[in-house]
Amino acid sequence: MHNDEHSIGDRIARLRSRRGLTQERLAERAAISVDVVRKLEQGRRQTARLSTINRLARALDVEPSVLIGQPTTFEAHDDSGSPSVLALRQAVSPITDLLGEDPDPEDPPTVGALRAALHSTERIRREGRMGAIGNMLPQLIRDARTAAHAHTGPDQAAAYAVLAEAYQVAATTLTALGKEDAAFTAIERAMAAARRSDDPHLETLGISSLSWIFTKQGRLEDAEHIALACAEKIEPSFRSAPLDLSLWGILLLRAATATVRQGKHNTVEELLNMASAAAARIGRDRLDYATPFGPTNAGVAKVNFLVEMEQSAKALTAARTVPELASLPPTWRARFHVDRALAYADLGKDDSTVRALLAAEQDAPEWMRYHGTTRRIVAELRGRERRRTSPVTELADRLHLDG
């Protein structure tokens, strides 16, 4: 049993007590079994389905990240350029917006330099190198703002396009750190920059990111609604360009993610079928705006949804049929392996769970340390481990788990 203040059960018990709820009353509000609440609070379970976490979070009036207990800041670095959440907040919401811009003594960055910096940031994001993102992103946002204000004509529109994407990376990074409100500010600024850019697809991308942020906030109906509304607005024909099909498919998967956590399983299947049809029409895996879409990502999404629907055996069968897994970015592959781990854990196959987690770590080791679901699974496995040293205890050490 884990009795440290960092377990999900401790957080649930503390919040339940503050709200004057019994375990039975909380279970009733969340529409889940009281046995789940008891086992979580007693430390006999360290994990729960994300749909369950969303229901508990709503019943307790907190964001899901509060219950998950994910890291809320960047890891410490030995050098003087350590990444900072404060620096990222200051870049997203500078006081110059209130006091006015001071003249910049340096020449504004060129569009070419901005695009090169953005591509570097997107690459390290796909690799899950959170610290490097935290170091690079504030300066990229400042540079893109400076260029957008200094340039005119086509160069200004191009600078706004870079700024919009930089804000979106900031939004997803802040969300990963449990700073969903700051992430919402970043995505609002991304949408405003997108409207002044030379890329008509950036607003769609912003809606996709906003749907994900709403999902992380537990605003599942809002996440589903905006993704589907945008998908309907841009709905392509099957003769449309691959990029249009890809963005439409990504929106459908965002909506399905929010839908599965609401328990609307029939709707999930419909959305997945449409997204899979779009992926099949494209015929190969694409990477647009640092987001993959194609047959492989549709297959990975199916595994995720089956895990969420507690169909673990079907999820593992589907996982074995996912094509071309190597085509996905490292963080997407890692998420896939974590889903496999969840399925194995649900079936009581601890050894296979650990192997899947180690496969995820091999793909994206730094990302693993920030991923709440991973940390919960490893905490539960470690709680059952009787040996002083084992693969799972060593993994827990590398993830910097307390206790």
| 166-218 pLDDT per residue, tens | 999 999 999 988 898 899 999 999 999 999 999 999 999 999 999 999 998 88
291: left (phi over 0), alpha (psi -120 to 50) or beta: beta
* Cα–Cα distance for residue pair 51/28, rounded to 1 Å: 15
Q: Tell me how crowded residue 42 is: count the other CB atoms within 10 A of its CB.
A: 13
Degrees (nearest 5) of the Cα angle 260, 265, 266?
Answer: 135
* Cα–Cα distance for residue pair 167/173, rounded to 1 Å: 10
Among residues 210, 213, 216, 218, which one has the least CA distance to residue 190? 210
Query: Can you give the pLDDT at residue 189?
Result: 97
Instruction: Report how far Cα 194 is from the mean position of its chain's Cα atoms.
Output: 21
**For residue 293, what are the β-bridge partners?**
286
The arrangement of secondary structure in 1-69, i.e. its CATH architecture, is Orthogonal Bundle (1.10)
- Provide the 8-state DSSP code for 7: S
Positions of the chain with pLDDT lower than 50, given as ranges = 1-5, 80
What is the SS3 assignment for 387? coil
**For residue 288, what are the β-bridge partners?**
291
Residues of the chain with CATH 1.10.260.40: 1-69
Query: Can you give the pLDDT at residue 5?
Result: 44
* Cα–Cα distance for residue pair 187/164, rounded to 1 Å: 8
DSSP 94-131: -THHHH-PPPPSSPPPPHHHHHHHHHHHHHHHHTT-HH
| C-alpha distances in Å from residue 58, one per residue of 5, 38, 199, 248, 285 | 21, 18, 37, 29, 36
108-132 per-residue burial string, b: 16 or more CB within 10 A, e: under 16 = bbebeebbebbeebbebbbbbbbbb
